Amino acid sequence: MEFHFNRWVRVTGTVVLVLIALYGIVAINVYSSVGQFPTHGPRPVPQIHTLIWPTIGYPELVAPGAVMEAELDAAEVSGPAGTFTAMLTPVRPELTGLTYSLPVSGAVRGRSEHWPVGTAHGGDTVWHLRFAVPAQAVPELYNLSIRADVGGRDFTYSQQHAVSIITPHPGDSFRFITLSDIHVHQPNISSFHNPQSDKGIAPDGTPVFLQRTIDQVNLIRPDFVVLLGDYVMAQRYAGEYLAEFNNFYKELARFQVPVFIAPGNHDQYVNDVDGARVFQENIGPLFYSFDAGASHFTVVNTTEWPYTDRIVMSKFGGLLFFPRKYQGQVLAATDERKPQTYAGQLAWIRDDLVRHEDAANRFMVMHHDPFRPAGKAYAWKNERFGGVITLGGSGVGSTALKTLAARYRVNYCMTGHMHSDYVGYQRWTDRQGATGFINQTMAFFDHGGEKDSYPGYRLWNVQGKNVSGFTYLDGVHSVPLYDGSVLDGETDLNKLDRLALSGSAGADGFSVSSYLGVPMDVEGLIGVFPVQQGKNVSGGRVYFSVPLPGDASRQLLYMRTSASPGQPGPDAATAGQPSVTSVFVH
Ligand SMILES: [Fe+2]
């Protein structure tokens, strides 16, 4: 018996030692910096240079006849105040030839008002330039160029899609679309740890799925779009970030409406380049705020991890690859429940909300949901694999964001990251209302195959203090981008092919085809017609017309219609019955 007992102890002890050693090897491999991607490769020539606001990801909304502002980095444009001229050229090709040249009406030096301290140009001294927009300016999206006479030499600084001239709608009403988790990625990056579908990705990496998404957005033509983070994948091989980012950036030119962009975790990975830096050199600040109508939007960066935690590492020959941290984090509170103890970005958010107490609505925009589910904030917690490997990073700051939302009466907090829909509410501190935490699905095809969510978007209708329409059919889900998306159950992502909403143009008008189970107001029916046409339109309405530049016989007509509901297909393999709404121009 004694012999057998000793043997049992020896065997068990050996097994335990081997397990400890294996665990150690796994842990060292997973958590050490062995295999981290190099971080000193080339980076693209910055698109944001000298002209630091407005930008493609932080555009300016301005009414005809109002004052347009811009910020030029005063370190680049120094010396005596030069003369400045702004040029606005429409993005829309039909309007080529139309250009507004605006003389400067004011130039003062001061701190940037659009890059908060803690962002790349925070605290920079800038030229605040003011230009008067003509009262007759066509309400459209414009590329901006600013010419500066610097010490007798001419320089031009440009930013595409930077200015949107908007006609304020009656009753302070406007519409916007939120899209999240676009994840433009290279083909063939799928792996055991992180499977990815190549659906909608061309062999050269062109994100065709994003083009089809933008086409639906342009057809609806909301006043603007808000992107909620994660535009790239950037975690399969070194150098992937730039290839994917360039493909994403190219597609931004396809939008015909202004786009406000919030950063996600993938956008800030360090993979050959520091993503947070590339984002700020090409898109805009990591956090900022803007006004639309009488409402205020505060855009938050929920990936406040130090550089070393954002470095992507490839482990076990690519079986595992990830940065140390990818969940939510916002710094810096001494006591998250006490806003007076906040510093850094949190203090800036607090002050921004205080300054906009009187706004019709306060919206918070961020990538990680600090609430879902029921206040537990899963997007801010570690993820565990097999009980051994802990990934993601348990971040701080979710309680602070919930505290700010409750204390300063935030109406809605819109988020992504989880690739599925969720709607939850938290009472305000004064109990006079509640914050809606509206989390939304992805815009790409994720891992393909069966999934309990589908690619979609939310469309928000704002009318004064009244916010509606941000869910589809059941009060929770996003509007599907494809027919056959299943709201409660599994959707076969591989079989999604029929665009839920599509338009086509003919010589005498447009037709809109919709599989959606709700009516959809579309305002992007825009085409060139002879000037004698457009007096009579059936099936829709002309809301704006502009003579074609250099062609007295033709005009550009902007029309809207309400696309009738179609019959949605029950699943991806079974087509529904689309409605067809026709708009004829006589
Ligand atoms: Fe994310």
CB atoms inside a 10 Å sphere around CB 479: 25
* pLDDT at residue 32 tops 70: no
Cα 342 to averaged position of ligand 1 atoms, centre (Å): 25
> How many Cα atoms within 13 Å fall on the side-chain side of residue 383?
12
Helix or strand (DSSP H, E) at 526 = strand 520-530
Cα 380 to averaged position of ligand 1 atoms, centre (Å): 11
Q: Are 267 and 284 in contact, with CB atoms under 8 Å apart? A: no
The DSSP symbol for 168 reads P
- Output the DSSP codes for 11-57: HHHHHHHHHHHHHHHHHHHHHSSTTBPP-----PPPS-SSEEESBTT
CA 339 centroid distance within chain? 27
Cross-strand pairs, 560: 541
Q: Helices marked H in 319-371 — which ranges?
A: 344-355
Cα 309 to averaged position of ligand 1 atoms, centre (Å): 15
Helix or strand (DSSP H, E) at 298 = strand 295-299
pLDDT for 369-388, tens place per residue? 999 999 999 999 998 877 66
Q: Are 464 and 173 in contact, with CB atoms under 8 Å apart? A: yes
Cα 283 to averaged position of ligand 1 atoms, centre (Å): 18
Cα 289 to averaged position of ligand 1 atoms, centre (Å): 21
Name the average pLDDT for the chain.
Answer: 93
By DSSP bridging, strand 224-227 and strand 259-261 are: parallel
Q: Are 438 and 410 in contact, with CB atoms under 8 Å apart? A: no
Cα 314 to averaged position of ligand 1 atoms, centre (Å): 19
d(CA 225, CA 22): 49
Cα 503 to averaged position of ligand 1 atoms, centre (Å): 32
pLDDT at site 22: 74
Cα 73 to averaged position of ligand 1 atoms, centre (Å): 32
Neighbours of ion ligand 1 (CB under 5 A): 230, 264-265, 417
* pLDDT at residue 23 tops 70: no
Cα 303 to averaged position of ligand 1 atoms, centre (Å): 9
* pLDDT at residue 494 tops 90: yes
User: In order of start, what are the domains of the chain with their CATH numbers?
Assistant: 51-62+64-165 (2.60.40), 170-495 (3.60.21.10), 501-585 (no CATH)
- Output the DSSP codes for 530-549: ETT--SSEESSEEEEEEEET
Cα 231 to averaged position of ligand 1 atoms, centre (Å): 9
Global pTM reads 0.94
Cα 443 to averaged position of ligand 1 atoms, centre (Å): 12
Q: Are 233 and 266 in contact, with CB atoms under 8 Å apart? A: yes
d(CA 58, CA 64): 19
Cα 306 to averaged position of ligand 1 atoms, centre (Å): 17
Cα 444 to averaged position of ligand 1 atoms, centre (Å): 13
d(CA 375, CA 128): 41
Cα 561 to averaged position of ligand 1 atoms, centre (Å): 36
pLDDT at site 40: 60
Written as six digits, the tokens of 214 are: 């933008």
pLDDT at site 535: 79
Cα 108 to averaged position of ligand 1 atoms, centre (Å): 39
Nearest CA among 248, 238, 243 for reference residue 271: 238
**Is it true that the peptide bond before 507 is cis, omega within 30 degrees of 0?**
no
SS3 284: coil
Cα 326 to averaged position of ligand 1 atoms, centre (Å): 7
CA 274 centroid distance within chain? 19
Q: Helices marked H in 253-332 — which ranges?
A: 275-282, 307-310
Cα 229 to averaged position of ligand 1 atoms, centre (Å): 7
d(CA 79, CA 58): 28
pLDDT at site 7: 83
* The one-letter amino acid at 97: G
pLDDT at site 239: 84
Cα 64 to averaged position of ligand 1 atoms, centre (Å): 38
Cα 510 to averaged position of ligand 1 atoms, centre (Å): 38
- Mean per-residue pLDDT for 407-413? 98
Cα 107 to averaged position of ligand 1 atoms, centre (Å): 40
Cα 196 to averaged position of ligand 1 atoms, centre (Å): 14
Written as six digits, the tokens of 112 are: 């940037």
d(CA 363, CA 330): 18
By DSSP bridging, strand 383-385 and strand 312-315 are: unpaired
* pLDDT at residue 531 tops 60: yes
Cα 233 to averaged position of ligand 1 atoms, centre (Å): 9
Cα 185 to averaged position of ligand 1 atoms, centre (Å): 14
* pLDDT at residue 252 tops 60: yes
First to last CA, the chain: 103
Cross-strand pairs, 546: 556
The DSSP symbol for 87 reads E
Cα 328 to averaged position of ligand 1 atoms, centre (Å): 9
pLDDT for 290-303, tens place per residue? 999 999 999 999 99
Cα 397 to averaged position of ligand 1 atoms, centre (Å): 16
Written as six digits, the tokens of 160 are: 């595409």
Cα 230 to averaged position of ligand 1 atoms, centre (Å): 5
Cα 321 to averaged position of ligand 1 atoms, centre (Å): 15
pLDDT band at 416 (very low <50, low <70, confident <90, very high): very high
* pLDDT at residue 21 tops 90: no
Q: Give the long-range contacts of residues 93-97, CB within 8 A, separation 24 or more.
A: 94/526, 94/528, 94/548, 94/556, 95/138, 95/140, 95/546, 95/548, 95/549, 95/556, 96/549, 97/549, 97/550
Cα 67 to averaged position of ligand 1 atoms, centre (Å): 37
